A and B are shown apart, each in its own frame.
Chain A
């Protein structure tokens, strides 16, 4: 039995996990669900040694696991298969299996021995490839099985963690993966299975836990739990009323943003219209194409076909600079790599695109910059309102406020695009961000945001477009937007 007892974990002042209890019995599959940012991945990271719990203990068959590093956890038999696989594309299957643990004859690698061993392993796992095949050309599903085989070869697997393994698989590949999971079960392995797809649970899981807001919201054998219960647990508490109040007075008839047959990397064609004052949500699971759609609107990717029209004027020379000139602002989901200059001070992070507007003549105006920073910091309740502090020293929520504030102070803002606006953002900051969006909408800004958190969509959106495989599959308006309707249409649980 793998058991986690009253474990807690904080990042800085933000507590991610509170007194989590979680166990997996040998030969069972325990599915882990929950909205993004609920603490699932933190829990997994702590079990697999990437991080450690602040309090609480992890035991495996009664022995306390004190694995400080991923390799220690791996040697104790905890293998994690991530969404992003760790195989090296340019090497052969057998070279990958033996990477770093090459069998040598004298100073040379004993290739034939490695290939024989690999052949045996591949047969055992029923993977129909030759050991000398390059990994790069293989389908994702096969790579995933090779990754499992590689872990199997290297350690006595006692716990297998699968992080959304089917998100990139075809139905055939999914079936083969499930067969492998069954085989692992009979071998007595404890399997933790993270997924967003409810349909899969009833095919593969024995137990299910829903993590929400850092706690266990629901836990038990799958046989005793109805799908509706799981949906309700993921959706969580009934949200505060009122956010959509005033929507009818806000929304105008003026089409501020129109995507006309927009097609780009892994999505489309998409036709969506957002009116001035309207807040439209794009809902879909990870990999549904919503992020690349938004980034294309913001000019980050070139559109393959179709166009973006702002206030009846098409955006030409599509690039971020052109989109900004047209009044489109973009708040990306991956703050650290796409939005923030971690080592630069807060004021530079907030005002970077506006330095030119504040300048008088050739030089920047410190006074106008300072005034603008403090006005926005006040509005967004930035904590601490310190313009000299490096952006990376703020909490996630306040970093997001800085990125949002970059655009809210601009009078020429007409369209606001947000991708996962509250990812890694604490509850207080989250409310402030929602309020700010509504305030902007009242000013006549059109807002288009994407989220994989149904609760967020229900709280914020006036209208929602459900996206799957890069295309809109359903649309709900006003009171028809409920967690149940969203989860059902996105998780293929009709």
Chain B
């Protein structure tokens, strides 16, 4: 059977269909967090007369401000496929350092705050250099420095320095146009973060590194420098957080200042729809994630819900949000599942 047949010419039709339109269901899923937040606000408003008052809204914003300041650079890192678990300890380190400088050495408060920010930036840069140049896992490095920085902090001073004076006190409790200074600072950070992510050229590079680092490298994008810069920036943000938290407390307890913040920040970022595997996330989502946690904690305290139930609610919200996000990403998954059922 020595037959020779000419190959048929391939029929090529060009794909001209419009971008796949998302189903109504997917749209609902995308805004699930916003809907959840609004539902939460509605519930607490009904449950407590104190919830929706000017004073309490200010309270929520104030208690969320440090979280927000840290969530912005953390979101950028996670979108790039990195993460920083050491921020809680950098907050402790910088807050205590500022306290020691002012209380024990009588330093000028402005210089002390400035040095705390520098120290935070250095601590963040150490993470960044280790991760960018040794290719160690970001989780391992920052888990290590989480312990390391806390250890240094506790070694420096065992009992909390307290009583920082008026200048620093202003950053803790002062207001500008009736709004706490910490809230103004957090709004500035969000604005800068959003401008960077959506308007600066390197903002798009963040996504490129997260989606496909190899392609980004071959396209000449600074795949090492950009994460390094953001580790330094999140250190700076943690330094600012340390100053603000210590100022608000007028005390810097070495063991507890900022402790556990790293997971709270990560929870807010992931709740806000940033993919832990990188490549996806929005500033709007991150702000919602922070507000969701702030409203949940504030409202539950007002309605006298015990703390352990707050933990259950936060944990459940994170897992549900991740599940909804996963479903909305996999186009057609739901339909396929339904078809298999029938």
Which A residues have a C-beta under 8 Å from some C-beta of B? Answer: 12-15, 18-19, 212-221, 224-225, 229, 233, 236, 298-300, 320-321, 323-325, 330, 332, 337-344, 348, 352-353, 355-356, 358-359, 362-364, 383-384, 386, 388-390, 393-395, 398, 406, 426-428
Contacts and interface: CB of A to CB of B under 8 A. Distances in A.
Given A13-B14, A394-B15, A321 B8 contact: no
A352 B222 CA distance: 12
A393 B20 contact: yes
Contact of B220 (A212, A338, A353, A358): A353
Given A233-B4, A384-B18, A337 B212 contact: yes
A393 B212 contact: no
Interface centre among A229, A325, A384, A394, by most chain B C-beta atoms within 10 angstroms, is A384
10 closest residue pairs by CB, A with B:
A215-B7, A355-B201, A220-B2, A321-B220, A324-B220, A341-B211, A363-B199, A383-B14, A213-B7, A356-B201
B28 interface: no
A340 B201 contact: no
A469 B205 CA distance: 37
Interface in B202-261: 202-205, 207-208, 211-212, 214-222
B172 interface: no
Given A215-B5, A338-B214, A341-B207, 17 more contacts: A13-B12, A213-B8, A215-B6, A216-B5, A219-B3, A219-B5, A220-B1, A220-B3, A320-B219, A320-B220, A338-B212, A348-B204, A348-B208, A359-B201, A363-B200, A386-B18, A395-B15
16 contacts: A13-B12, A14-B10, A18-B7, A214-B7, A218-B4, A225-B2, A325-B220, A340-B212, A341-B207, A344-B211, A355-B205, A362-B200, A364-B200, A383-B15, A388-B19, A426-B12
A444 B204 CA distance: 31
Given A217-B4, A383-B15, A427-B10, A352 B219 contact: yes
B16 interface: yes
Contact of B208 (A12, A332, A352, A383): A352
Given A212-B7, A220-B1, A13 B15 contact: yes
B11 interface: yes
A300 B219 CA distance: 10
Contacts of B12: 13-15, 426-428
Contacts of B7: 18, 212-217, 236
B85 to A, nearest CB: 26
B327 to A, nearest CB: 16
Contacts of A384: 15-18
Contacts of B279: 341, 343
A221 B15 CA distance: 40
B195 A353 contact: no
